[in-house]
Structure 1
Amino acid sequence: MIGRLQGLLLAKQPPEILLDVNGVGYEVQLPMTCFYELPSVGETATVFTHFVVREDAQLLYGFIDVNERTLFRELIKANGVGPKMALTILSGMSAAQFMQCVKLEDVTSLVKLPGVGKKTAERLVVELRDKLAKLNLNTGADVSDAFVTPTETGSTIIPVSDVKEEAMSALVALGYKPPQASKAINAVYQDDMSSEALIREALRSMV
């Protein structure tokens, strides 16, 4: 089991990063709420990981702290929820927001996430309500502002087309349909927006 990685951040292509650990490059997928907290490319990053082995792939999922990883692990134990859906859930809302939805039985907010229908949302509430209460995870959070603001990492201006394409790629990878992703991106885009900021605002507008 690979539980933690620390190394040089070589590339960031939401929702995936490439992390160089002693000469070995690890591809790690992160929820966008964790992705925003990463340092700039070329700096040292630390992620807590969950390793998934399938017949056709070996996948690493990363998190900024162990509480987020714990919540991810509880999510994938729920009936009908795999790693991809768990990643999408924790990209569309922070750990604090998700826990609040479960606590308040807020099915309406959960069904706004791609791939989460009413039955799945209700099942998540039923299966995780008691478990999350017992875990008492310290997500830190003020739920009213649970999205992390991405840090601007330099003054380089990226062409609008590249910014939008990267945002579109990330949202589609997270399970959103291209028309839905495109509509959200165009609705929130502002001049000089970074791709991470655009993804954040697009996700926020859809939840």
Structure 2
Amino acid sequence: MGWKRDGYAAHEGAVGVLLPDGSEPGPVCFDTGSGGDVHESTNWWVYDGTLGAPRADRVRARCACGWRGQDAYPVDWEAVVRRDPYAYDTSGPERDWDRHVDDVQARSVPLPAEVSDLLHQLRQRLERLIDDAPLAAVKAAGELESMAAAIGPVAAYLAVREDDLSWPRVAEALGTTEQEARSRLLHYEYRR
């Protein structure tokens, strides 16, 4: 399970591991012995040195965007409960990831306060509407999709028309990766 923040899907965070030599290992593969399907995992607790997995000695934050935390925290494998690895304290890496996403958010284009407040209120009201009147919530979701379809293409067209706008800058402004920024703008461009 990763760490997520609304509006920053390209920045899902997780606990990463480091081996004693400082390298970050690839996924651990588990051959279940039935067919060609081989299960892979990058969950930090599988790097405990058993079943052919390498043994990590430190953990750190990692993000889907490629960012890695600078701080590494030692793993006390004696304190890791095999049946409940989530009980182990990984708050250090999570705090580091939170700071990373705070930084991404701070560098992104700020929404005007009134728009941000309206969106927050709308989300809260729609979440309550799901319980009270689910079909009305579906209808509201359709209205939001309709608004996005009308506003997104025009906004994307005007944004990419600017000559000095580079993809790294677009990604930073949207608080996402370059790949996701291109995908989002192309998605809207083709809806025109």
What TM-score do you get using the length of structure 1 for normalisation? Answer: 0.24
Higher strand share: 1
Task: Answer with 1 or 2: which has the greater Rg.
Answer: 2
What TM-score do you get using the length of structure 2 for normalisation? Answer: 0.25
